[in-house]
Amino acid sequence: MQSTEIRYFLVVANTGSLSAASKQLFVAVSAISRQIQRLEERIGAPLFERHARGMVLNDAGQILENHVRKSMMDMEHAIAEIQGLNAVRRTVIRMACTDGLAFDLLPQLFSQFRLNNPGVMFYLNVGTAVEVSEMIHNGEVELALQFSLAAERGVDILASFPAPVRMVMRPDHPLAESDVQLTDLHPYPLAMNEQGSTIRQLFDLSCRMSGIFLEPAVSCNRFSTLYDFMVQTPGAIAACSHFSIMYKARRDNLRVKPVNIEQLSQRTLQLQSPAGKRRPAALRQFIDFIRDELTRENENFIRDFRL
């Protein structure tokens, strides 16, 4: 349902050049170039910065691309409702999250939800906190689940849970049965997120305010790497939210310890959606499910691990 101009514009924006777009569309370069020029004349502004190696969207082009993609998503929702597909049959829920939440929590939630709703499919985009925020603000996804240090503006917060930093270790760890303070961590290999992540910001701030220097043995932007290092390394400790190991902690018989420092308790886990967007039936049902499941499992986890 797109005009030829818009369709060619999106392909050039995605591929970065007229020649690459030509190969994808099976249309001559000259024809694509004419359509782009007509679109720019109609809008009254250039949409690309043209370089020898290709074409890059300028500010006007990025604005148009964002609006076109939002319109495409709205059109998909409208078609689904007209055809009656919003009654939780075959539909796709597009979601974004930060890495730790893709490790254990969301795969479990997707699996559980699909037991009763096998027609619902999920498209999950995993990114940094900045990337996830951009995706939800731009309307590229319908839901986002991420840790946040403050209330996110410009989105609807559908649920929010305290997500303090926890110390996770094997059951044979020397600190497994003890209360844990930052000073207790010195002798042990630490596995932590890379600098710039919310958890690392809080941890480094807590160390500075306590006059303690702790250097991770492993720093990585993939939580699966940190988790495997902790499980396989005697004495290792991983710093994370309990939401990142909501189900695996029990299966692997781990110990999860709080550190009673105010700075380590400033994060929340937020379930977000684009502000003011109409939500189809399948999406509304999944929102209710994930909100109820997180509430129940969070309470159970805090009780069972004595947090």
Verify that 178 and 258 share a domain, yes or no. Answer: yes
Mean pLDDT of 66-92: 68
Verify that 197 and 275 share a domain, yes or no. Answer: no
pLDDT for 244 = 95
**Residue 87 pLDDT > 70, yes or no?**
no
Question: Would residue 70 count as lying in a domain?
Answer: no
Domain containing residue 40: 4-63
pTM: 0.69
Q: Band the pLDDT of 265: cuts 50, 70, 90.
A: confident
Verify that 180 and 114 share a domain, yes or no. Answer: no
Mean pLDDT of 66-87: 68
Which two tokens mark 190?
């630490």
**CATH number of the domain to which 123 belongs:** 3.40.190.10
pLDDT for 88 = 47
Mean pLDDT, rounded, of the chain = 88
Which two tokens mark 89?
């049959």
Q: Band the pLDDT of 82: cuts 50, 70, 90.
A: low
Question: Would residue 83 count as lying in a domain?
Answer: no
**CATH number of the domain to which 59 belongs:** 1.10.10.10
Verify that 174 and 200 share a domain, yes or no. Answer: yes
State the Cα–Cα distance between residues 207 and 123, nearest whole angstrom.
Answer: 38
Exposure of 52 by Cβ count < 10 A (0-12 exposed, 13-18 middle, 19+ buried)? Answer: exposed
Question: Would residue 228 count as lying in a domain?
Answer: yes
For residue range 182-225, list pLDDT tens digits in order. 889 989 999 998 887 888 888 888 888 888 888 899 999 999 99
State the Cα–Cα distance between residues 45 and 63, nearest whole angstrom.
Answer: 12
Alpha carbon of residue 260 to chain centroid: 27
Question: Would residue 71 count as lying in a domain?
Answer: no
The pLDDT > 70 percentage for the chain reads 95
For residue range 6-35, list pLDDT tens digits in order. 888 989 988 999 999 888 889 899 999 999
State the Cα–Cα distance between residues 262 and 31, nearest whole angstrom.
Answer: 62
Helix H, strand E, coil C: the string for 136-203 is HHCCCCCEEEEEECCCCCCEEEEEEEECCCEEEECCCCCCCCCCCCHHHHCCCCEEEECCCCHHHHHH
Pick the closest to residue 103 from 191, 188, 174 (CA basis). 191
State the Cα–Cα distance between residues 57 and 46, nearest whole angstrom.
Answer: 9
pLDDT for 248 = 93
Verify that 159 and 177 share a domain, yes or no. Answer: no
pLDDT for 194 = 86
115 Cβ contact list (under 8 Å, min separation 6): none
Three-class secondary structure of residue 66 per DSSP: helix
pLDDT for 78 = 66
Query: Domain tally for the chain?
Result: 3
